[in-house]
Amino acid sequence: MSKEKKAAKAALKRSSERKKQLMAALGLEWVGPVLKILKIFLLFVLFVVLPAVGILLLALQCRRGSDWSYLKKFRYAHRGLHRKGLPENSLAAFRDALDHGYGVELDVHLMKDGNLAVVHDSKLGRMCGADAVIEDLTAEDLPKLKLDYTEETVPLFEDVLKLFNGRPEPMIVELKVADGNYNELSEKTMELLDRYNVHYVVESFDPRAVAWFRKNRPEVVRGQLSTAMTKPEHGGSRKPDLMLVEHLLTNLIAQPDFIAYDFTERNIPELAICRKVYGVQEVSWTIRTPEDAEKAEKLGNLVIFENFGW
């Protein structure tokens, strides 16, 4: 080392020592360590926290700009205005909802002959007492599937659309994906919807179906359904894909116009971020008391209800 470098190093050391002595004399010897900690903290925020927040916001992104003024005029009967004698997802329950001026939420499945059936469960034991799966059946089988011990049968989606054709009441159409059939299910659903003069939005628990609309029919208002899927009462599965849907992180591929979240499980930060940052419309399901309906509507949410009426 040259004499000049040695001298400079010694001078720097003396200067540092004088600073320490001055800080000690002033009772400020704590400032140095605090500044070091602050520097580490700022670097952590800059290189870890801010990128993480950016990635989260990117993953949670929703589409802006949908007009909800018309759809907010209605409340939505869950699977029709069903009750004893009027089974869920039956033509009778849908007619009664229309008679009361309600929109409806309903479920569509793709059958093996390419037709769409309106029923909630793939397995037909609960509603029809049949040891069968709707995706394995055809339109010819539906008249034999009596709903909840009544004369009502599982309807074709097209028959439901005929009820709503030209009517003001809207539909919330849930696509029930089975065995990865989201492409064909989405295509068939739109083939029918395009034939009728109906007001509607679409939704699904499967983000691949929602993403199909983003890619192929961007003009259609689309929504991501979700709930606390990892809780025992909702199946308790810890599968990564279900965890992503629960926390709305699949918005990255779907970019929904609305989030339809289980009202009893809605207090999650991801939904709050979607609302505050992207202004996404929330749809609340399933509302079962007038008190919860009032709470949801005060939040600006659309209401999907059952077991009561206004």
Question: Does 78 qualify as catalytic in the annotation?
Answer: yes
Pair of tokens at residue 171 = 């539909």
Q: Cα separation of 56 and 274, whole Å?
A: 11
- For residues 103 and 152, the answer to whether their CB atoms sit within 8 Å is no
Which residue among 82, 100, 109, 120 is the active-site one? Answer: 120
Integer-rounded Cα radius of gyration of the chain: 28
From 80, 85, 144, select the one nearest 118 (Cα to Cα): 80
Angle (nearest 5°) at CA 233 between 293 and 87: 55
Helix H, strand E, coil C: the string for 257-292 is: CEEEEEHHHCCCHHHHHHHHHHCCEEEEEEECCHHH
Residue position matching structure tokens 């001298």: 7
Upper half-sphere CA count for residue 56 (Cβ side, 13 Å): 14
Give, in order, the Cα–Cα distances in Å from 110 to each of 45, 156, 210, 253, 286. 49, 10, 16, 23, 24
Which residue among 78, 82, 109, 247 is the active-site one? Answer: 78
Give, in order, the Cα–Cα distances in Å from 149 to each of 80, 127, 219. 17, 8, 40
Please return the burial class of 122, using the count of CB atoms within 10 Å of its CB with bins 0-12, 13-18 and 19+. Answer: middle
From 242, 258, 250, select the one nearest 303 (Cα to Cα): 258
Q: Cα separation of 105 and 200, whole Å?
A: 10
Active site residues: 78, 120
